[in-house]
Amino acid sequence: MNQGGNTQAIAPLDPNSIEQRYGVDGSQPQISSYQYSTGSDGTSWTANQAVENGNYSNSNYYHPQPTVSTTGNVQEIANTATSGTANVTQDYSGYTTYQAPSDPHSYSNTGYSNYYSGYQQQPSQTAPYQPAAAYQNTGATYQPISSFQNPGSYAGTASYSGTYYNPADYQTTGGYQSTNYNNQTAGGYPTTNYSNQTPASNQGNYTDYTSNPYQNYTPDASNTPSSTIATTAPVHYQQNYQQWPDYYSQTEVPCAPGTEKVSATSAYSQSFPVPGVTSEMPASNGQPAPAYAQPWRLETDSSQPPSQQPGAAVTSTSNDAYWMHQTPSVQAYYPVPPQNHYQSPVETKPVYETTFQGHQRATYPQELNPQTSIHQAPLGYRQPTQTTPSVDTQRVSKVKIPTNPRIASNLPSGFTKMEKDSSAAGATHTPAYVSVSMPKPKHHTTAMPDPGTFPKSLCGFVERAIARCKDDREKASCQAALRKIIKKADADGTLHTQDWDTEPLSTVLNTDVTDTEASSTFISSLQNKSPARRPKSRWEPLSEAKPFVKPASTFSSGVKFGGWNHQNENNKKSSEGFQKADAVTGFKPSYAGQNSAKKSFQRPVKRQRFSGGAGTAIDDEASSDSDKELTPYYSSAMALASSADEKKRRDSRSKRFEKVQGHNRGNDLHKPKNANVGNLHSRRATALRLGRDFDESGSRAVEDIDWDALTVKGTCQEIEKRYLRLTSAPDPSTVRPEDVLEKALLMVQDSQKNYLYKCDQLKSIRQDLTVQRIHNHLTAKVYETHARLALDAGDLPEYNQCLSQLKILYAEGIEGCSLEFAAYSLLYITLHSNNNRELLSSMSRLSEEAKKDEAVRHALSVRAAVTSGNYVMFFRLYKTAPNMNSCLMDLYVEKMRYKAVTFMSRSCRPTIPVSYLVQVLGFASASSEGSDEKETDGMEECSEWLKAHGASLIADDNGDMLLDTKVSSTSLFMPEPEDAVAHGDRNLDVNDFFTSSRTL
Amino acid sequence: MAYVSMGEAHRRITECLNRFCDAVSYQDSSTLCRLLSFSSNSPSLLSLADALNVFQDASSLIRQSDKFSDYGEILAHLFRSLQSYRVGNLVEAYLAYEKFANAFVQEFRNWESAWALEALYVVCYEVRVLAEKADKELTSNGKSPEKLKAAGSLLMKVFGVLAGKGPKRVGALYVTCQLFKTYFKLGTVNLCRSVIRSIETARIFDFEEFPRRDKVTYMYYTGRLEVFNENFPAADTKLSYALKYCNPNRERNIRMILKYLIPVKLSIGMIPNDELLRNYNLHEYKKIVQALKKGDLRLLRHALQEHEDRFLRSGVYLVLEKLELQVYQRLMKKIYIIQKQSDPARAHQLKLEVIAKTLRWLEIDMDLDEVECIMTILIYKNLVKGYLAHKSKVVVLSKQDPFPKLNGKPVGS
């Protein structure tokens, strides 16, 4: 499903990684197989162990993947049956497909299988190892990864991240996972499958292991039992399985992270004893490790296993994921880091379940990315190892020891070295993880003494906080807040001292998603914490290519999951940006993806708000449905999916990221829940964030902002709409589509109402056009209409706005009345702006064709008349003006008349008859709007005008009025315009405004 | 492109790096200039560019030595720009050069003395020229040209570096001139104002202290600005200064100055002789000068129409158009003289009828109202002394100097 999609997307991106993974997987599987073998079959394991050694790194890689799967599982577990199953199913689906290829074990199908698969995955991986050796194994390892991804997808954010960042990885992982799942599933469900796996002796054992962890495991174990270890393992497995069920029933919470860890550690230790095998086990399955651990434990110490198992079981899902991560790291690092991971996984599991979902949503992308990156890196490393593993499965036994040590170190068992890193690792590991991840609280990870573990009171606090959430959205934000708080407490060192029981929930519940970033940083910090990684940024690790480094990266990836991250942080404390880690992993694609993941992070939060998040549901006991939804894109899906209207857009948009996010789509579809209202905003936010992220990444330019995503598609059918300047994102329900706007324009043109009404209507039309980014003839028509109306009303500011838009539209090649407006433009410059350079440039821009146009020629003549002061010509042109040219000239009439009278007063002696002035100065044309008086009689008007301007009029013998030029030449003045207003814009006059509002 | 071996490329690059560093340490501005001047297309630069294209990892060479890595940023950008320039990718070349220029200016700021002024000049020049070329490339690709604008803001930054007390201030005028060129090309002439203000009002600048070359260029551009503003006396002063001090051997520069100075001089009533127009190939003004001499309105209008595009582009169209009034004046004077010959007693009375008839001979159709309007304007602008008797449709000329000469003053003053 999603995974598959992801895998596809990923595949192109990271063929290498995939290959590597495969190799890795192979190794991992081997590892798992080793583990299994250790658990189940000593011999096979041993062989495997040898491989494992080689593979270890691989196994580590695997682990990451496994962890992923586990996380998924964890989530599922958290969700319990429903969500878990859903998730599982998804995973399975993906896995199954994969599985099918890799191994016939088709556990895959059931949700259990998923969980199991997660757990089993390792087993299954092992199984694959046996059959397909490297490839299958790789598949297994991949599966783990995929499982991670899946978790992420579950988390929603994870899905996002997956889509964005990790898609490729995911896909690959998915594919891998699927294989793993298959194995796992096979193991879990189909014990038979396991048995199938078992057929391959080692594999069989492995499978058994896997199966053992799951119900299948036991059968497998029985199957595998053939091998010495296997036999023991089977038992363990059975126990484990039992435990698992218990865990399941218990949900994640029940599992004590600590216990899980312990179990894991114990298992490891056990495995250690079985050196090769055990080591393999852990390594191979970070995830499986738990389960394995249990099995192992069972083998080694039945007692431990059980106890651990529960925890493991619970954690197993999460643990698996964690384990996966850890394991990768462990394998690579074998030393402490892995352990840490392991621990963290365990602990995280709980967190994951609860917080994870939330986190995952938010953080998943990042985490996923890291994982992917990690995987890739590991893969590269692993590949060699993997191949060897497959080949060396038998060898493994020898190798196992070394690996084992590492693993052991990781594991509580004792490879001190490893443990050193993880010092807390063994016991602490789990705690650390637990502590980091929210899970602890839920899961009681506190059991472990590890520093990382969260105090019970904190767990209670978290549970209380989550319980208060009414819906997913709240949960998401709550989780984010919790993360923040815990992070802060951890940073302050008050994590264990604070009285969480009395801590007011209000802080949590009121906080918003803003924390996502913090969480991400958290994660990053956690990731960084891994000792190995610290010195080197994640990026560096990638570059380093050392397996260890890779593991670290995987760690980080594991950490990336919100819960994980926290846990990791606690454990590791060294923090680096996830992104960095991702980057380290070396996928550039993943980078972008990561970035997107970050974005998605943010989104998730918001979405959660909007959509009531499926993610939150996941956290607690969300229904499986919600989980399903969450799985892929979850948060993104939430945001995007909501309204059917937007689906298309979302789809098209999501296509952009398909490569990255294979999974998201599915999620989107899942998410009809999202509120329509939220969609627009979320979309915009997404686009903006994307833009930002791109900017941040530096590789993308601003142009890459998806403006389409920001464009509104109107749905309003009202023709009439008042203009209101937007102060927020436009609401599609109040925006009119193009056809309605066309009607609105016609309505305005035919309207008998006054200019202010029309202006208001046209402005709202323009606004709707703008927000919908409509640039066509209609747009030009609207602006032309408005410009003409504005000219008619003498509203120059509005006219200028329209004209500047029209210039742009004409420049885009949109046909309109461009010549008419070129004439207006010329007139405007000539008469009002009085800017010679502007005039020159606009004249020089006129084409030959334009100069032949009547309106343009008229405008040019007017210009000539004005520059030379030829008032006679001006007023003649005034009377013959085409189009609205006279409207623009109106505004200059007063000046021109004054100029003319001034000239004549100075030049003519002794008198000039007013009748001549009436004729020459355009008064006779009757009714010019130039003067404010009524122009029933040109003479009357002219006299009035002359008197108003200080001219001296006398009457001759015939009673005709004459202008006494000599007197007038010194007395002429330009009267203050009567209608002048202080702010300079007559249209803004308060009385006018009242009238207009009344008429409106 | 000639084949260059790896070793040869390496040698050339190293040599260039050495020369750059030596030039800086010995404050050898001319060597530096040669390294920075792309538009010189010097063989050494071209061969260096070839070498850079062969030896792709020049930055590692720069990093190798502390001596080079001190200027690592400068050199890396310079090399990248040169590479792009060589392969004809001018936009890339400009972008890299801009970065280089920024780094160079940063370094320049730290140098106490003004030894590198010449090099800075080269940088400013190259930035502008590269930007113009890049814009051309962008335009031909259908993209919006914006590099020159960016170059403008970069130059403004450089101006800020130079505009202060100290020996570097003499370089400010060169940058100002490059800014003028940029702004005139962009059509954002109003941006010149702030620079002009700081040059003409800041006390740190003594105008005579600047290099003559820059002073001439500065006067040319500010003179052109005054032409736009139709402030003819000021334009006359500035353009005359430019003409006086410009290199007499640079015919093209003289012609550019005359293109604006002639209309300005015509506007204030001074007519150039034909030799000048001939020597500097300014034949587009020939007819206008003739029309002014003869009072041939038709010829003026034809001349304006004939070279309308050119005059519009150079921005003197409106100035030349205003010469019409002077042509009218000349025409009236001719009528007056003819009348004087036939009937001295009534020669000072110009009938509008006669004027209209005269214009008709010139194929310009005007009715009496229009002629009266023109005469009103002429009298108002003091091109004709006298008054117009509206009732009798007669212009009564003053008996004393009815057609006053402008004598260096613009019409209407």
Per-residue pLDDT tens digits for A59-102: 333 343 333 333 333 333 333 333 333 333 333 333 433 433 33
Q: Work out the end-to-end distance of chain B between its first and last CA atoms, rounded to an integer number of angstroms.
A: 65
Residue A476 has pLDDT above 80, yes or no: no
pLDDT tens track for A173-186: 333 333 333 333 33
Question: pLDDT tens digit string along A116-145?
Answer: 334 433 433 333 333 333 333 333 333 333
pLDDT at A364 over 90: no
Asked whether the beta carbons of residue B322 and residue A869 sit closer than 8 angstroms, the reply is no
Joined tokens for residue A566 = 């926290």
Over residues A83-93, the pLDDT tens digits come to 333 333 333 33
Kindly state whether A966 is in contact with chain B, defined as any CB-CB distance less than 8 angstroms: no
Residue whose tokens read 């926290």: A566
Report the pLDDT averaged over residues B190-219.
86
Q: Report yes or no: B309 at the A interface, CB cutoff 8 Å.
A: yes
Q: For A871, which residue in chain B has the nearest alpha carbon?
A: B373
User: CB distance A907–B321 less than 8 Å?
Assistant: no
CB contact under 8 A, B380 and A906: yes
- Give the CB-side neighbour count of residue B343, counting CA atoms within 13 A: 7
Cα A884 to Cα A802: distance, rounded to the nearest angstrom: 15
For residue A908, list its beta bridge partners. B388
Q: How many CB pairs under 8 A join A and B?
A: 75
Closest CA to A339 of A249, A403, A254, A250: A403
Write down the pLDDT at residue A957: 77
The minimum CA-CA distance between A494 and chain B, rounded to whole Å, is: 47
The reply to whether A912 touches chain B by the CB within 8 Å rule is: yes
3-state class of B396 per DSSP? strand
Helix, strand, coil percentages (3-state) for chain B, rounded to 5, are 75, 5, 25
Contact B369/A872, CB-based, under 8 Å?
A: yes
Is the CB of residue A329 less than 8 Å from the CB of residue A555?
yes
pLDDT of residue A156: 36
* Cβ separation B387–A913 shorter than 8 A: no
In whole angstroms, what is the distance from residue B48 CA to residue A431 CA?
63
Which tokens sit at A369?
A: 């990315």
Query: What pLDDT was estimated at residue B182?
Result: 92
Query: Is the sign of the CA dihedral A758, A761, A765, A770 positive or negative?
Result: positive
Shortest distance, CA B394 to any CA of chain A (angstroms): 10
Query: Kind of pairing, strands A911-913 and A961-964?
Result: antiparallel
Interface test with A, best of B332, B376, B393 (most A CBs within 10 A): B376
In whole angstroms, how far apart are CA B212 and each of A47, B219, B246?
89, 10, 8
pLDDT score for B298: 92
Of A441-455, A483-497, B50-64, the poorest mean pLDDT is in: A441-455
Q: Render the burial of A105-137: b for 16+ CB within 10 Å, e for the rest.
A: bbbbbbbbbbbbbbbbbbbbbbbbbbbbbbbbb
pLDDT at A133: 35
Judging contacts by C-beta atoms under 8 Å, the chain A residues touching residue B380 are 902-903, 906-907
Q: What tokens does A536 get? A: 């080197």
Q: In chain A, positions 264-323, which contact chain B (CB-CB < 8 Å)?
A: none
CA B118 to CA B100: how far, in whole Å? 16
pLDDT over 90 at B177, yes or no: yes
Residue B98 pLDDT > 70: yes
Report pTM.
Answer: 0.52
For chain B, the residue count is 413
Residue of A nearest to B381 (CA): A903
Whether residue A906 is predicted with pLDDT greater than 90 in this model: the reply is: no
Q: How far apart are CA A67 and CA B54, in angstroms?
A: 48
AA identity, residue A547: P
Chain A contacts of B267, Cβ < 8 Å?
none
How many C-beta atoms surround the C-beta of residue A446 within 10 A?
A: 24
Distance from CA of B44 to the nearest CA of A (A): 35
Q: Which residue has the higher pLDDT, A496 or A579?
A: A496
- The DSSP code for B209 is G
The structure tokens listed for A592 are 């972008």
* Count of other CB atoms within 10 angstroms of residue B281: 10
Check B377 against A903: CB less than 8 A apart.
yes
Give yes or no for B15 touching A (CB within 8 A): no
Q: Which pLDDT does position B129 carry in this prediction?
A: 92
When CB atoms are compared, the residue of A900, A906, A908 closest to B390 is: A908
Nearest to B379 among A836, A906, A911 (CB): A906
When pLDDT is averaged across residues B299-317 and rounded to a whole number, the result is 91
Q: How far is CA A116 from the centre of its chain?
A: 30
pLDDT at residue A494 in the model: 61
Cα distances (angstroms) measured from residue A916 to each of A354, A921, A962, B24, B363: 95, 8, 9, 80, 27
Residue B386 has pLDDT above 60, yes or no: yes
The CA distance from A89 to A338, in Å, is 28
Which residues in chain A are contacts of B312 at CB distance < 8 A? 840, 843-844
Query: In this model, does residue A302 exceed pLDDT 70?
Result: no
Q: Which of A337-346, A468-477, B137-146, B195-204 has the lowest mean pLDDT?
A: A337-346
**Which chain A residues contact residue B392 at CB under 8 A?**
none
Instruction: Kindly report the CATH class assigned to B323-397.
Output: mainly alpha
Q: Residue B242: is its pLDDT beyond 90?
A: yes
For residues A385 and A57, the answer to whether their CB atoms sit within 8 Å is: yes
Tell the residue number behind the tokens 């203000």, with chain if given: B197
Would you tell me which residues 218-247 of chain B have a C-beta closer than 8 angstroms to some C-beta of chain A?
228-230
Decide: A609 and A348 in contact? Cβ < 8 Å: no
Spatial separation of the C-alpha atoms in residues A633 and A665, rounded to whole Å: 7
Taking a C-beta distance cutoff of 8 angstroms, is the pair A862, A889 a contact? yes
ipTM: 0.83
Query: B388 and A907 in contact by Cβ < 8 A?
Result: yes
Tell me what the mean pLDDT of segment A971-983 comes to: 66
- Bridge partners (DSSP) of residue A217 are A211
Q: Does B365 touch chain A (CB under 8 A)?
A: no
Q: Given CB atoms, is B301 within the 8 Å cutoff of chain A?
A: no
Q: Do B315 and A837 touch (CB under 8 A)?
A: yes
**Average pLDDT of span B219-225:** 93
Read off the pLDDT of residues A679-696 as tens digits, 9 standing for 90 and up. 445 445 544 454 444 444
Distance between CA A17 and CA A118 in Å, rounded?
21
Closest listed residue to residue B332, CA positions, set B376, B375, B381, B289: B375
Cβ partners under 8 Å of residue A185, min gap 6? A92, A95, A96, A99, A105, A106, A107, A108, A109, A110, A113, A114, A116, A117, A120, A124, A193
pLDDT score for A267? 35
Question: What is the DSSP track for B69-87?
Answer: HTTHHHHHHHHHHHHHHHT
Q: Is it the case that residue A675 has pLDDT exceeding 70?
A: no
Nearest to B387 among A836, A870, A907 (CB): A907
The pLDDT confidence band at residue A489, using thresholds 50, 70 and 90, is low
Residue A239: the pLDDT is: 39
d(CA A907, nearest CA chain B) in Å: 5
Q: Strand B394-397 and strand B386-389: pairing? A: antiparallel
Residues with Cβ within 8 Å of A477's Cβ and at least 6 positions away in sequence, in order, are: A511, A512, A513, A515, A605, A608, A609
Say how many Å lie between the first and final Cα of chain A, rounded.
57
**Option in A837, A864, A872 nearest B373 (CB):** A872
Mutate to test the interface with A, among B312, B390, B397 (most CBs of A within 10 A): B390
Which member of B312, B313, B380 has the closest CB to residue A907? B380
Mind listing the pLDDT tens digit for each residue in A48-59?
333 333 333 333
Q: Are A46 and A404 in contact (CB under 8 A)?
A: no
In this complex, do B373 and A909 lie within 8 Å of one another by their Cβ atoms? no
pLDDT for B261 equals 94
Which of A336-345, A637-646, B18-27 is the least confident region?
A: A336-345
Asked if B390's CB is within 8 angstroms of A840's CB, the reply is no
Contact A381, A547 (CB under 8 A): yes
Query: Given pLDDT bands bounded at 50, 70 and 90, which one contains residue B194?
Result: confident
* Whole-number Å distance between alpha carbons of A458 and A438: 9
pLDDT value for A668: 41
Give the integer Cα–Cα distance in Å for A75 and A322: 12
Helix axis angle, A111-155 to A2-13, nearest 10°: 60
Q: What integer is the mean pLDDT of A460-466?
A: 67
Contact A870 B369 (CB under 8 A): no
B337: contact with A, CB 8 A cutoff: no
Distance CA B30, CA B14 (A): 19
DSSP A912: E
What is d(CA A289, CA A280) in angstroms, rounded to the nearest whole number? 9
Which pLDDT value is given to residue A479? 72
Q: Decide: A417 and A409 in contact? Cβ < 8 Å.
A: yes
For residue range A559-606, what is the model confidence (pLDDT) as tens digits?
334 334 344 444 444 333 343 434 333 333 333 334 433 443 444 333
Residues A342 and A430 sit within 8 Å (Cβ to Cβ): yes
The closest alpha carbon to B362, from B320, B334, B387, B402, belongs to B334
Residue B329: band (very low, low, confident or very high) from pLDDT cuts 50, 70, 90? very high
- Give the contacts of A861 (CB within 8 A, at least 6 positions apart): A873, A877
Span A815-834, mean pLDDT?
84
Could you give the CA distance from residue A339 to residue A323 in angstroms, rounded to a whole number?
A: 8
Please tell me which residue of chain A has the smallest CA distance to B225.
A837
Query: B281: left (phi > 0), else alpha (psi -120 to 50), else beta?
Result: left
Contacts of A305 (CB under 8 A, 6+ apart): A236, A239, A240, A243, A263, A266, A267, A270, A293, A294, A295, A296, A297, A298, A299, A312
Asked if A676 is an interface residue toward chain B (Cβ–Cβ < 8 A), one would say no
**pLDDT score for B146:** 86
Whether A361 has a pLDDT exceeding 90, the answer reads: no
**Cα A826 from Cα A883, distance rounded (Å):** 14
Delineate the domains of chain A, giving CATH numbers in brackets. Answer: 2-588 (no CATH), 589-710 (no CATH), 732-886 (1.25.40.990), 892-971 (1.10.10)
Pinpoint the alpha helices (H) of A586-727.
588-607, 614-619, 624-630, 634-641, 644-658, 664-670, 676-697, 707-710
Inter-axis angle of helices A228-250 and A64-102, nearest 10: 110
The arithmetic mean of pLDDT across residues A32-46, rounded, is: 38
Contact (CB<8Å) B309/A912: no
C-alpha closest to that of A638 among A873, A958, A361: A361
- Each domain of chain B, given as residue ranges in start order, spans 6-210, 323-397
Give the contacts of B279 (CB within 8 A, at least 6 positions apart): none
CA distance A830 to chain B (A): 12
Nearest to B228 among A836, A867, A872 (CB): A836
pLDDT bucket at B408, cuts 50 / 70 / 90: confident
Q: Do A844 and B387 touch (CB under 8 A)?
A: no
Asked whether A734 and A751 are in contact (CB, 8 A), the reply is no
pLDDT: which is higher, A111 or A860: A860
Mean predicted lDDT score pLDDT of chain B: 87
| Averaged pLDDT for residues A739-762 | 85
Of the candidates A839, A903, A909, the beta carbon closest to that of B380 is on A903
Contacts of B321 in chain A (CB under 8 A): 864, 867-868
Q: Which residues of B touch A911 (CB under 8 A)?
A: 390-391
Q: For residue B83, which amino acid is it?
A: Q
pLDDT above 70 covers a percentage of chain A that reads 26
Beta-bridged to residue A963, according to DSSP, are A912, A953
